[in-house]
C-alpha cells in the first residue's frame, strides 16, 4: 500500500510480534535483564505484568530466543493460549516437549511422563523453562498443576528441573492472590511490571521501527505528530503501531511524504481507544 511511497522494505508497524523490532529502551531492556537474572537466581516462578499492548508477548519471544541460543543449559516450553484445565495444561506441556504417549494416556500417566523428562534433562545439566503468555486467563487448577511440577527435586549436582515465567495483564496479580494459590504465591519471588513509554520513548520507538523496515530518510514524523501519537497512545506500543500505521495511510492517500499532527489527528479520530487516551491526558494536564 504505502511501502514504496515512503521508501520502505516492509510495513514498520505491524501488530504481529517480531523480535527484529525489539527496541532496547530502558524499561524493556530492564525487563529482559530481569528475566535473565531471575533464571540465573533459580527463581521457580517469575511474573511479568503489563497493560494490554505494552509488549509482553514481544518480550516473551525475545527471552525465548535468548534461551534457545543456549541449548546446552536450557530447554524451553511455550504455552501461548493457557485457557486450559489442569489435565489439558499437562497434555500441552507434554506436546511442546515432544514426548510420545498413548492416545488414551490419563492425566497421572502424563504427569509422570513429564516429570521423568524434567529429571532426565536436569541430569544432562539442563533447566526446562516454561513460558506462559496471557497467564491471567489460567484456571486455578491449571496453575496449581504447574506449581506441583516445580516441586520435583533436582538431580544430584544438576540444575533446578523447572522454572516458570508467567506473562499477563494486571489481573494476573488478583488471580495469584486467591487463597487456592497461596503455595504458588509463596514461591513467587521475582516480579516485574512493564511500564508504558514516555514521550521520548515513543519517538525512539517510531524511528527504530522505521529504520528496521528499511526507511533511510529525514524524520518522517514531525515533533507535533509525535506529541499527538504519545497522547493518543498513552505510550502503549500496540496503540502506537495502530496510530502510526493509520497516519501513514492518511498521508499516502493525500500524496504527502511527511507526517504531521493533521495526519495523526485523523488516525486518532478513527481509533476509539486512542480518543480515550487523549481525553485522559487532557484531563490530567487540566487539573
Calculate the alpha carbon distances from 267 to 3, 88, 101, 243, 251 in Å.
Answer: 18, 42, 52, 6, 10
Which is more confident, 286 or 12?
Answer: 12
In a domain, 189, yes or no: yes
Q: Same domain for 161 and 68? A: yes
Q: Same domain for 31 and 70? A: yes
The whole-number average pLDDT for the span 60-89 is: 92
Which range among 13-27, 94-108, 127-141 shows the weakest confidence by mean pLDDT?
13-27
Q: What's the confidence (pLDDT) of residue 286?
A: 43
Residue 172 has pLDDT above 80, yes or no: yes
Q: What's the confidence (pLDDT) of residue 283?
A: 44
Total structural domains within the chain: 2
Residues counted in the chain: 287
Q: What's the confidence (pLDDT) of residue 64?
A: 93
Q: Same domain for 105 and 224? A: no
Among 161, 177, 193, which residue terminates a domain? 193
Cell of 238: 500496540
Cell of 262: 493533521
Q: Same domain for 149 and 275? A: no
Which is more confident, 198 or 281?
Answer: 198
Q: What's the confidence (pLDDT) of residue 285?
A: 40
Give the model confidence (pLDDT) of 229-274 as tens digits. Answer: 999 999 999 999 999 999 999 999 999 999 999 999 999 998 876 6
Residue 284 has pLDDT above 50, yes or no: no
Calculate the alpha carbon distances from 195 to 50, 63, 224, 237 in Å.
Answer: 7, 18, 23, 10
In a domain, 5, yes or no: no
Q: Same domain for 208 and 136? A: no
Among 171, 193, 215, which residue terminates a domain? 193
Contacts for 202 with CB less than 8 Å, ≥ 6 apart = 226, 229, 230, 233, 235, 240
Q: Same domain for 261 and 179? A: no
CATH of the domain at 145: 3.40.50.300
Instruction: Kindly state the percentage of the chain with pLDDT values over 90.
Output: 75
Give the model confidence (pLDDT) of 156-165 as tens digits. Answer: 778 999 999 9
CATH of the domain at 252: 1.10.8.60
Among 175, 193, 211, which residue terminates a domain? 193
| Torsions phi, psi for 88 (to 5 deg) | -65, -35
Q: Same domain for 167 and 207? A: no
Q: Same domain for 32 and 155? A: yes
The whole-number average pLDDT for the span 19-37 is: 86
In a domain, 21, yes or no: no
DSSP 180: G
Locate all alpha helices (DSSP H) within 69-181, ordered by sequence. 86-96, 107-123, 140-149, 171-176
In a domain, 6, yes or no: no
Q: Same domain for 32 and 170? A: yes
Band the pLDDT of 25: cuts 50, 70, 90: confident
What burial class does residue 286 get, using C-beta atoms within 10 Å of its C-beta: 0-12 exposed, 13-18 middle, 19+ buried?
exposed
Q: Same domain for 151 and 224? A: no
Q: Same domain for 278 and 181? A: no
Range of 264's domain?
Answer: 197-286
What burial class does residue 215 get, using C-beta atoms within 10 Å of its C-beta: 0-12 exposed, 13-18 middle, 19+ buried?
middle
The whole-number average pLDDT for the span 44-52 is: 92
Q: What's the confidence (pLDDT) of residue 239?
A: 94
In a domain, 245, yes or no: yes
Q: Same domain for 41 and 183? A: yes
Band the pLDDT of 21: cuts 50, 70, 90: confident
Q: What's the confidence (pLDDT) of residue 165?
A: 96
Amino acid at each position: 500500500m504505502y511501502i514504496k511511497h515512503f521508501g520502505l522494505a516492509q510495513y514498520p508497524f505491524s501488530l504481529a510480534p517480531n523480535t527484529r523490532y525489539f527496541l532496547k529502551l530502558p524499561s524493556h531492556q530492564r525487563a529482559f535483564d530481569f528475566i535473565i537474572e531471575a533464571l540465573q537466581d533459580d527463581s521457580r516462578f517469575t511474573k511479568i505484568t503489563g497493560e494490554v499492548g505494552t509488549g509482553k508477548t514481544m518480550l516473551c519471544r525475545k527471552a525465548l530466543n535468548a534461551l534457545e541460543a543456549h541449548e546446552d543449559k536450557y530447554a524451553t516450553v511455550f504455552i501461548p493460549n493457557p485457557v486450559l484445565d489442569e489435565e489439558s495444561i499437562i497434555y500441552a506441556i507434554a506436546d511442546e516437549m515432544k514426548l510420545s504417549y498413548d492416545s488414551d494416556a490419563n492425566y497421572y500417566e502424563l504427569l509422570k511422563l513429564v516429570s521423568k523428562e524434567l529429571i532426565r534433562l536436569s541430569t544432562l545439566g539442563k533447566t526446562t523453562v516454561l513460558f506462559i503468555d496471557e497467564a491471567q486467563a489460567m484456571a486455578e487448577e491449571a496453575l496449581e498443576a504447574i506449581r506441583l511440577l516445580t516441586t520435583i527435586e533436582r538431580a544430584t549436582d544438576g540444575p533446578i528441573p523447572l522454572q516458570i515465567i508467567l506473562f499477563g495483564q494486571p489481573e494476573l496479580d488478583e488471580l495469584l492472590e486467591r487463597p487456592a494459590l497461596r503455595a504458588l504465591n509463596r514461591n513467587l519471588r521475582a516480579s516485574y511490571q512493564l511500564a508504558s513509554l514516555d514521550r521520548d520513548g515513543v519517538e525512539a520507538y517510531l524511528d527504530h521501527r522505521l529504520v528496521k523496515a528499511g526507511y533511510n530518510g529525514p524524520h518522517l514524523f514531525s515533533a507535533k505528530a509525535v506529541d499527538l501519537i504519545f497522547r493518543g497512545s498513552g505510550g502503549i506500543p500496540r496503540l502506537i503501531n495502530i496510530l502510526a500505521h493509520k497516519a501513514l495511510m492518511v498521508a499516502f492517500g493525500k500524496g504527502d511524504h511527511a507526517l504531521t499532527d493533521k495526519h495523526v489527528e485523523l488516525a486518532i479520530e478513527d481509533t476509539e481507544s486512542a480518543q480515550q487516551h487523549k481525553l485522559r491526558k487532557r484531563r490530567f494536564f487540566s487539573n
